[in-house]
């Protein structure tokens, strides 16, 4: 499903509950153990277990850092039991020369196998094509990513969907640096595989929908310069017409009185 947290199907829960050894058996199968306890479960020396783990016979389920900032790999006890049943010949006697030579050559597939395991869980946890592409992209360093994804908007979208850091992360800056290095692919074959996988995943994501882009609407044109305000005009003082009107009226009254007086004298 898209978005949200992946839910376990009810049928899968019912299947686990119906097992005759539930719940103790389930706890044993999902229990994570370190090298010492794992070697004890297989009844082999710790060095032999480490050799088999370095050559890829066991895939770590997670890791943590001890107080000395050394990586401690953890394995599922249930998978170790299955290995003991299917490969008993590797638990006793002298190890094959090919395995010894690979270890002498410095091979250590534990980080790569852990990354592959984690990627598988991430891909199964979502059906969103962009989230799946982001899970693959999280295994490539920025330089590799920019070569595969040349669109900066798509890279930004993938970064936004980047999975949460693994549980082995700590608050120490030095420890975070170690964990970050473990998260990114470092083997040439592994890098090539993830580059090809990312290219295919991007094709599916683009076919589903394009990556979101910022608003490209043109910016509004700047407002025209406001005209320079003119200084206020001095008020034009107009002589009140009432004064002129009153003067004319008095003149008319004077003339009218003068005319009346003249007529009286004639009488």
Q: Are 208 and 129 in contact (CB under 8 A)?
A: yes
Residues 117-131 pLDDT 10s? 999 999 999 999 999
Interval 138-161: pLDDT, tens: 999 999 999 999 999 999 999 999
What is the pLDDT, as a whole number, of residue 180? 86
Helix 152-160 crosses helix 129-137 at what angle (to 10 degrees)? 90
d(Cα 16, Cα 143) in Å, to the nearest integer?
A: 44
Please determine, for residue 235, whether its predicted confidence score (pLDDT) is greater than 50. Answer: no
pTM: 0.71
Is it true that the peptide bond before 23 is cis, omega within 30 degrees of 0? yes
Strand ranges in the chain using DSSP code E only, listed in sequence order: 32-33, 62-65, 71-76
Q: Running DSSP on this structure, what letter comes out for residue 20?
A: T
Block residue for tokens 């686990």: 16
Classify 74 as helix, strand or coil.
strand
pLDDT band at 196 (very low <50, low <70, confident <90, very high): very high
221 token code pair: 């044109």
Task: Tell me the average pLDDT of the chain.
Answer: 80
Q: For residue 142, with 0-12 CB atoms within 10 Å meaning exposed, 13-18 middle and 19 or more buried, which class applies? A: exposed
Mean pLDDT of 69-76: 93
Neighbour tally for 176: CB within 10 Å: 15
- pLDDT for 91: 95
pLDDT-derived band at 9, boundaries 50, 70, 90: low
Reported for 30-36, long-range contacts at CB under 8 A and 24+ positions apart, including other chains, are 30/76, 30/77, 30/78, 31/76, 31/77, 31/78, 32/61, 32/62, 32/74, 32/75, 32/76, 32/77, 33/74, 33/75, 33/76, 33/77, 33/80, 34/72, 34/73, 34/74, 34/75, 35/72, 35/73
Instruction: Specify the pLDDT at position 96.
Output: 94
Q: How confident is the model at residue 261 (pLDDT cuts 50, 70, 90)?
A: low
């Amino acid at each position: 499903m898209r978005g949200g947290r992946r839910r376990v199907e009810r049928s899968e829960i019912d299947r686990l509950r119906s097992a005759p050894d539930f719940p103790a058996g389930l706890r044993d199968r999902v229990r994570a153990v370190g090298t010492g306890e794992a070697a004890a479960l297989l009844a082999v020396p710790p060095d032999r277990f480490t050799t088999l783990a370095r050559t890829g016979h066991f895939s770590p389920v997670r890791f943590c850092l001890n107080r000395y900032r050394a990586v401690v790999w953890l394995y599922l006890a249930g998978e170790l039991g299955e290995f003991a049943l299917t490969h008993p010949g590797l638990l006793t006697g002298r190890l094959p020369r090919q395995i010894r030579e690979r270890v002498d050559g410095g091979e250590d597939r534990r980080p790569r196998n852990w990354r592959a395991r984690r990627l598988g869980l991430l891909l199964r946890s979502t059906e969103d094509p962009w989230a799946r592409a982001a899970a693959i992209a999280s295994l490539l360093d920025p330089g590799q990513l920019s070569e595969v994804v040349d669109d900066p908007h798509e890279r930004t979208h993938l970064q936004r969907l980047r999975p949460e850091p693994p549980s082995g992360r700590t608050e120490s800056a030095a420890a975070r640096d170690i964990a970050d290095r473990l998260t990114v692919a470092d083997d040439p074959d592994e890098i090539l595989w993830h580059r090809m996988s990312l290219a295919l995943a991007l094709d599916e994501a683009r076919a589903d929908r394009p990556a979101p882009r910022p608003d490209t609407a043109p910016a509004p044109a700047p407002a025209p310069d406001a005209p320079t305000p003119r200084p206020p005009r001095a008020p034009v003082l107009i002589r009140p017409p009432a004064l002129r009107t009153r003067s004319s009226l008095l003149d008319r009254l004077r003339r009218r009185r003068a005319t009346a007086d003249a007529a009286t004298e004639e009488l």
